[in-house]
A and B are shown apart, each in its own frame.
Chain A
């Protein structure tokens, strides 16, 4: 009977494990006096701001991070969801959350005072926190500054055949850029642009924004699309420093207007159980202190006026953002994905 005894012991051990510390942690997480966040952003990028908030207010911030599925989780959890806030890295997920009906409108003088109208939903269903520009990284060795493309539209020019790298066309950043292109030029011209860009790719879309700069360093392509803050992040990384050194950043225009920008943002959930704390955190993140941390640690563009950009951002050149409303970008996303599929961008 020795085997059965072992089996019984194993069952007992499992039961003991189940009832111990993890479940206690569970209970703590839904305590009042805290604030609960579902985040599409990697925790190591926002944890410093949350820590600063906790130091200042005494309110603890609990986080669940995932790159997909959090809006679905909110939908299913419904009115009993423990989450108060949702953080995203682009406009698309914010509008997805709003469309799914899991956000609520919130408005305070501080929030509407600090965040420009163009960077928040008119009823307060979501707020932008930082701006990030989708810029070009251009090879120092192989493309003279004067020859570099001045606009996104030029990327479709046959001149650049076999010289451009991008990440997957279905990634939220690429989708947002394509959606902006549709908003400016209409569906047909946007599709032509996508086909032209596709024809110029040096390789099948792959990797993330940093990997494209690496490919330039390695001579595989001469121009890539990427978010502006990766320049700073690469310069800080021992291995990636050389990648960043091989390129210079270019701020292209869209429809002669300005550079395509996206936002990282936040929204209050419809079921938010700790509304008061949630508002505190939202307001804190728009404060000069937090905005400065975003600017200096993550190299994003602060949205609060008067908060200085980091030295590196200033040295990269002046950002003149596209004035297109972000709502329009969000609206055109499904169409953008269809066009991306139609031209077979990722094949």
Chain B
């Protein structure tokens, strides 16, 4: 390990060549950030100053609830994600090969559906309490105590088991990439597995785990469906009360901005805390041997890894399957295929576009200066904005552009072009990209960062421009991360609901909106087939993702030409989900 203070900026070698990339990247970043800028614009014009009323009434409690939920979910995803990742990455126990990909499965289940399912199971009328009543002869709710699922604890439980895969995915990659020598040195020096984990592996993987946790927390902050269902009043609920209840868009936008500021502060604090402590590996010899767990420990590991899959995936998917079978005849019709087609189409497009922009921005950053860095960071904040708010943010630039074009055409040629982009599939894809770019970008940027700048310099000195270097050198090298990034954006887009509802064209349903129509009336059973399809459509890419990662790993092992290059681990390494 060599501590490094500065990283070379690649673009400095040939400052002129990268300009097109930086200019293009800046334009792209501004376009992606435009919904957020629109929200900031709205915030300048509140219909009345909402803060005195809010501060003296709901704001303290809603802020406190938001904080509690974030702390709870943060701890939850950290523990579940990093412990399972550690076991899978470094140990051998029954079922490990299956767990490697199966631990990603909860990613495919929308959180609000998991919330519905667990409410059904754990509420008073559900099978668990019913069984307890039968056994103990209790009659009413007043006879005994049972934890209330519709509560802060319930929201924590559900969200932790749905969001932990973000941490798992990144932490596992980080643990795998730690050079074996570091871990072995630690063991040789007399530290046990536990001590090695806490004093060596965990600090080394801190950036990766932080990125994963930050993603989970941003998702927590933006969530409305789950907290609304569980009656946990967070700041998101305040935003909606002020906007759609009191009709004060400006006031609501101000609250949303405060929430964003919260995220920025959180991320900056972590960066400051980590400053000056960059860990770089000098060797990439991957851990080739795993700890062989023995006896009861083997099965303990199996149980630990099995539990999140059971809770986050098997139970919800099982319940959905049962409902889907019962209502199969009603659900399996032409309309269903239409919903599925729409969902797949939108998610595929969103994944492709988000990936392209992520590559563009990440490569721009590699070539460029801190200013561009700030710009691209703003473009990533969409992930922490509640979907319905973001949707209104998307409406504004699109409608403004459409109406401006229409106005010009009317003035000059006397024809109306109407709305060209608003209310189209294009607006939906754009919204998904703005919302989920952060997820894809993290993976691409980190992975790109791991490539030695000397590779760029070699390529460039041999006459290749920045584009050619990217196409022939970088993209093939980071393909694992590209696939990972595209997969996560795809899966998240399949699940997206609030922005889809507001922005969609006429007569246009996705699987998610179809499910919502019924689920919002406590009639989830009738749309269980669609819900299950969202899950299945999510599983396929998740499994592909996992296989792709394994392939890349094995190819690397067999290809010393890449594996032998001393890697320069960046400040945020392992968002390189794909490696």
A 72-86 binary contact with B (CB < 8 Å = 1; else 0): 110011111110000
B447 to chain A, nearest CB (A): 14
Does A198 sit at the interface, judged by CB under 8 A? no
| Chain A positions 181-235 with a Cβ under 8 Å from a chain B Cβ | 204-208, 210-211, 214-215, 217-220
Residues of B within 8 A of A70 (CB): 502
CA–CA, A265 and B244, complex, Å: 18
B475 and A211 contacting across the interface, CB-CB below 8 Å = no
Name the A residues within 8 Å of B391 (CB-CB): 69
Chain A interface bracket (under 10, 10 to 19, 20 to 34, 35 or more): 35 or more
Q: Please provide the 8 A-B residue pairs with the shortest distance between their CB atoms, ordered closest to farther.
A: A206-B231, A62-B506, A76-B399, A69-B502, A219-B140, A66-B501, A29-B506, A341-B57
**Nearest-CB residue, chain B, relative to A73:** B395
Which chain B positions have C-beta within 8 A of A96?
247
Query: Closest residue to A11 on the B side, CB-wise?
Result: B352
Q: CA A215 – CA B504 in complex, angstroms?
A: 36
Q: Do A65 and B521 form a contact, CB below 8 Å, given A76-B399, A206-B150? A: no
Contact of A347 among B233, B245, B471 (CB under 8 A): B233
Q: Which residue of A lies closest to B425 (CB)?
A: A22
- Name the prevailing secondary structure of the A interface residues: helix
Q: Say whether A14 contacts B352, CB under 8 Å.
A: yes
Q: How far is the CB of A3 from chain B (nearest CB, A)?
A: 5
Interface string of B490-506 (1 = CB under 8 A from A): 00000000000111111
In the docked arrangement, what's the CA distance between A96 and B249, Å?
12
Contact partner, B505, options A11, A26, A341, Cβ 8 Å? A26
Given known contacts A76-B422, A341-B53, A68 and B388 CB-to-CB distance under 8 angstroms: yes
Option from A73, A204, A220 in Cβ contact (under 8 Å) with B502 = A73
Minimum distance in angstroms from A147 CB to a CB of chain B: 19
Q: From B233, which residue of chain A is reached at the shortest CB distance?
A: A346
Asked if A82 and B246 sit within 8 Å, CB to CB, the answer is no
Determine if A168 and B231 form an interchain contact, defined as CB atoms under 8 angstroms apart.
yes
- Given contacts A72-B392, A80-B418, A82-B418, could you give 16 more A-B pairs where the C-beta distance is less than 8 Å? A7-B475, A14-B353, A26-B424, A64-B504, A76-B392, A76-B399, A78-B399, A81-B419, A170-B237, A205-B231, A206-B230, A210-B521, A219-B141, A220-B141, A347-B58, A347-B61
Bound-state Cα–Cα, A79 to B391, Å:
20
For A5-42 the 0/1 string (1 means CB < 8 A from B) is 00100110110011001110110011000001000001
Nearest-CB distance from B414 to chain A (Å)? 15
Question: Which of A17, A62, A337 makes the CB contact (< 8 A) with B507?
Answer: A62
- On whether the beta carbons of B507 and A68 are closer than 8 Å, the reply is no
Instruction: Give the distance to chain A from B18, nearest Cβ to Cβ, in Å.
Output: 21
| A residues whose Cβ falls under 8 Å from a Cβ of B | 3-4, 7, 10-11, 13-14, 17-18, 21-23, 25-26, 29-30, 36, 42-44, 62-70, 72-73, 76-82, 96, 99, 168, 170, 172, 175, 204-208, 210-211, 214-215, 217-220, 237, 239, 333-334, 337-338, 341-342, 344, 346-347
Give B350's nearest chain A residue, CB to CB.
Answer: A14
CA of A172 to CA of B562, assembled, Å: 61
Report, as a range, how many residues of chain B touch the other chain: 35 or more
Q: Is the CB of B245 within 8 A of A175?
A: yes
Q: Please name the residue on chain A nearest to B423 by beta carbon.
A: A82
B142 touches A219 (CB 8 A): yes
Interface centre among B244, B249, B353, B503 (most CB of A within 10 A): B244
| In the bound complex, CA of A206 to CA of B501 (Å) | 23
Say yes or no: B240 contacts A68, CB within 8 Å. yes
Given contacts A3-B476, A69-B502, contact A30 B418 (CB under 8 A): yes
Is there contact, CB below 8 Å, between B125 and A214? yes
Assuming the A-B contacts A10-B352, A344-B57, are A337 and B504 also in contact, with contact meaning beta carbons closer than 8 angstroms in the complex? no
Question: Separation in Å of the A220 CB from the closest CB of chain B?
Answer: 5
Residues from chain B with Cβ under 8 Å of A76 in the complex: 392, 395-396, 398-400, 422
Q: Which residues does chain A contribute within 8 Å of B230, judged by CB atoms?
A: 206
- Across-interface contacts of B57 in A (CB, < 8 A): 338, 341-342, 344
Are A17 and B345 in contact, CB atoms less than 8 angstroms apart?
yes
Check A17 against B517 for contact (C-beta < 8 Å).
no
- Write out the residue numbers on chain B whose beta carbons fall within 8 Å of the beta carbon of A13: 348
- What is the minimal beta-carbon distance from A103 to any residue of chain B, in angstroms? 15
Cβ contact of B124, chosen from A25, A220, A237, cutoff 8 A: A220
A237 to B353, CA, bound (A): 44
Chain B 320-346, CB-CB to A under 8 Å as 1, else 0, gives 000000000000000000000110010
Complex-state Cα separation, A80 to B523, whole angstroms:
36
In the complex, the answer to whether B231 meets A77 with C-beta atoms within 8 Å is no
B233 — which chain A residues lie within 8 A by C-beta?
346-347
Does B508 belong to the interface (CB within 8 Å)? yes
What B residues does A21 contact at CB under 8 A? 341
Residue pair A4, B471 in contact (C-beta under 8 Å): yes
Contacts of B398 in A (CB 8 A): 76
Contacts of B142 in A (CB 8 A): 219
Binary A-proximity of B225-266 (CB < 8 A = 1, otherwise 0)? 000001101000100110011110100000000000000000
Q: Does B219 contact A (CB under 8 A)?
A: no
Q: How far is the CA of A7 from the CA of B474 in the complex (A)?
A: 13
- For residue B402, which residues in chain A have a CB less than 8 angstroms away from its CB? 77, 80
Give 6 A-B contacts (CB < 8 Å), ordered by A residue.
A42-B521, A62-B506, A66-B502, A69-B391, A210-B521, A333-B246
The chain B residue sitting closest to A78, CB to CB, is: B403
Shortest CB–CB separation between residue B552 and chain A, in angstroms?
Answer: 10
- By a CB distance below 8 angstroms, the chain B residues around A30 are 418, 506
